[in-house]
Amino acid sequence: MKYALLNGKKITAQPNLMATCLCCGAEVKSYCGEINQYHWRHLNKKQCDLWYENETEWHRDWKNYFDSSYQEVVKHDSKTGEKHIADIYNPKKEVVIELQHSPIKPNEIRAREQFYNRMIWVIDLIGVDKNLSFINDKFNLEYQLTKMRQNPTEKIEVPDSFAISEIEKEMNALSSILRLPDKDENMDYLRALEDEYKKLCKLPNHYLMLWKYRHKYWEASSKHKFIDIGTNTLYELVARVQFGNAYIVKAHDKNKFIVHYQ
């Protein structure tokens, strides 16, 4: 944890300090090594909040955008006595922001969403963003066809846009010259994407995001989810395409997002 209580004050870890846990009130000790960020750990080594994720630099960077009073805020259910440490809580908006770096079980997603109720997720996909493709441009037919000519057996994974009838015409014309064994499969995929695209991608700032090896557990979530890929844009998952690994996403300016919740 970044914070603990000492003399009634919420403080960060400094070398050789003892304090009490914000959540359970047990004794915590400061850990101030050279590699890990300064942090507090329970003396008995057991984290009291099982939802608490080991902090990465990414967590710290996000927390630091907000006032210390908004960071690591203990929320409790007065009926059940259950307590958890929210990564960020904005009391004016009464919204919790949960920062998620590691894989998470669907049950835990549901439990956290039920507990916090008014909450959003920010999901760390930095480093795995190579598995993401964002599509918003007009279809570059020439490019796509050149690729197909060069390697006719390669499955189309990332269509550049959705002028499907155009591609189909071209592909039929080419089929006598080229051998396209996956042609039907590719066309089914493109048609399904085109349908979704027509529905949603015409909205401003909306993109189709292809997510190779997508994290299926996020389908258990019913709250707003924003993907951080380490750029100035956060991508909100708006809807999952019922075909393949694609999502409709909405791009948000990261700075504006942060200012909004500060």
Residue ranges in contact with Zn ion by CB under 5 A: 21, 23-24, 48
Rounded (10°) angle between helices 164-175 and 183-196? 170
Least distance CB 120 / Zn ion (angstroms):
25
DSSP state of 258: H
Least distance CB 235 / Zn ion (angstroms):
34
Nearer to Zn ion, 48 or 164 (CB): 48
3-state class of 1 per DSSP?
coil
The encoded tokens of residue 208 equal 């189709």
Least distance CB 49 / Zn ion (angstroms):
7
Nearer to Zn ion, 4 or 227 (CB): 4
Nearer to Zn ion, 41 or 254 (CB): 41
Nearer to Zn ion, 5 or 238 (CB): 5
Nearer to Zn ion, 25 or 181 (CB): 25
CA dihedral 228, 229, 231, 236 (to 10 degrees): -40
Nearest to 212 by CA among 144, 150, 158: 158
Pairing of strands 18-20, 39-42: unpaired
| Residue 152 CB neighbours (<10 A) | 16
Report the C-alpha gap between 106 and 222 in whole angstroms: 11
Longest Cα separation, the chain? 81
Least distance CB 146 / Zn ion (angstroms):
59
Nearer to Zn ion, 23 or 125 (CB): 23
Cα-to-chain-centroid distance, residue 130: 14
Least distance CB 26 / Zn ion (angstroms):
5
Least distance CB 202 / Zn ion (angstroms):
49
13, 21 contact by CB (below 8 A): no
